[in-house]
Amino acid sequence: GAVVSQHPSWVICKSGTSVKIECRSLDFQATTMFWYRQFPKQSLMLMATSNEGSKATYEQGVEKDKFLINHASLTLSTLTVTSAHPEDSSFYICSAGGIGEKLFFGSGTQLSVL
Amino acid sequence: AQSVTQLGSHVSVSEGALVLLRCNYSSSVPPYLFWYVQYPNQGLQLLLKYTSAATLVKGINGFEAEFKKSETSFHLTKPSAHMSDAAEYFCAPRGAGTALIFGKGTTLSVSS
């Protein structure tokens, strides 16, 4: 099956720094990428949807200036958490949608902000 | 917008017992319905999906789900629970070309 590679799988950073998370579709063209956030013992919450070459569409309550999403190619989308704070500590998961309504998830990134 | 309700945030069963995890979707029928499983500190694994081809859907690890339009339900079942089934389970509808919208999840505990 199709593979979505998400890196890093975990990252620890100091408060105030920025962290970039990559999501790559390895064997298909991902026309749409979705980014989710999951707090401990909670469900996945959709943060934003991005289409290749377009600006991302953010869900209500998600700060677009804090969570920068870039989808510059059909195989790569990045999420940058800018000026991270402890409350941004969470599990971030990407999913990539290709042709035919197929949807595949990355393995997730655990972000811990000290 | 699509939404789901997962009844019961925590379900406990004995090993070998029937597993029933409930999921009810919003009144508009979604094109697709999914069940995912998440083991501790891991990503998501697709269990099964409904795509209108058949109302009874069989998935991996012995799980299956039946789409019932009259009840707006898509409950997940497994005849005999294993210890390895202990995990978090999410039901999620999806519209055409849109994101999955996850339910709150149900934690399944299996005791010996």
Assess whether pLDDT exceeds 90 at residue A11: yes
Inter-chain residue contact A101 with B42, CB threshold 8 Å: no
- In a 10 Å sphere around its CB, with 0-12 CB exposed, 13-18 middle and 19+ buried, how is residue B5 labelled? middle
pLDDT of residue A113: 97
pLDDT of residue A1: 63
Nearest-Cα residue of chain A relative to residue B89: A43
Query: Which of the residues A9, A42, A44 would you substitute to probe the B interface, choosing the one with the greatest number of B C-beta atoms within 10 Å?
Result: A44
The reply to whether omega before B30 is within 30° of 0 (cis) is no
pLDDT band at A107 (very low <50, low <70, confident <90, very high): very high
pLDDT band at A100 (very low <50, low <70, confident <90, very high): low
Assess whether pLDDT exceeds 80 at residue B89: yes
Q: What is the pLDDT of residues A22-53, one digit of tens each?
A: 999 998 888 899 999 999 889 999 999 998 88
Assess whether pLDDT exceeds 70 at residue B103: yes
pLDDT of residue A101: 66
Assess whether pLDDT exceeds 90 at residue A5: yes
Give the phi and the psi of residue A63 in degrees, each rounded to 5.
Answer: -80, 115
Q: What is the pLDDT of residues A57-70, one digit of tens each?
A: 999 999 999 999 99
What are A's interface residues with B at a Cβ cutoff of 8 A?
A: 6, 32, 34, 36, 42-46, 49, 93, 95, 97, 101, 103, 105-108, 110
Inter-chain residue contact A44 with B41, CB threshold 8 Å: no
Assess whether pLDDT exceeds 80 at residue B28: no
CA of B105 to nearest chain A CA: how many angstroms apart?
Answer: 6
Mean pLDDT of chain B: 91
What number is the average pLDDT over the span A65-80?
93
pLDDT of residue B1: 66
pLDDT of residue B30: 75
Beta strands in B4-105 (DSSP E): 4-5, 10-14, 19-21, 24-25, 32-38, 44-50, 56-58, 64-68, 73-78, 87-94
Inter-chain residue contact B44 with A105, CB threshold 8 Å: yes
Inter-chain residue contact B97 with A97, CB threshold 8 Å: yes
Q: What is the pLDDT of residues B46-80, one digit of tens each?
A: 999 998 878 999 999 999 999 998 899 999 999 99
pLDDT of residue A51: 87
Nearest-Cα residue of chain A relative to residue B92: A44
Q: What is the largest CA-CA distance in chain B?
A: 42
pLDDT of residue A58: 95
What number is the average pLDDT over the span B79-84?
97
Mean pLDDT of chain A: 92
Dihedral sign for Cα B79, A38, A106, B31, please. positive
pLDDT of residue A2: 66
What number is the average pLDDT over the span A72-100?
91
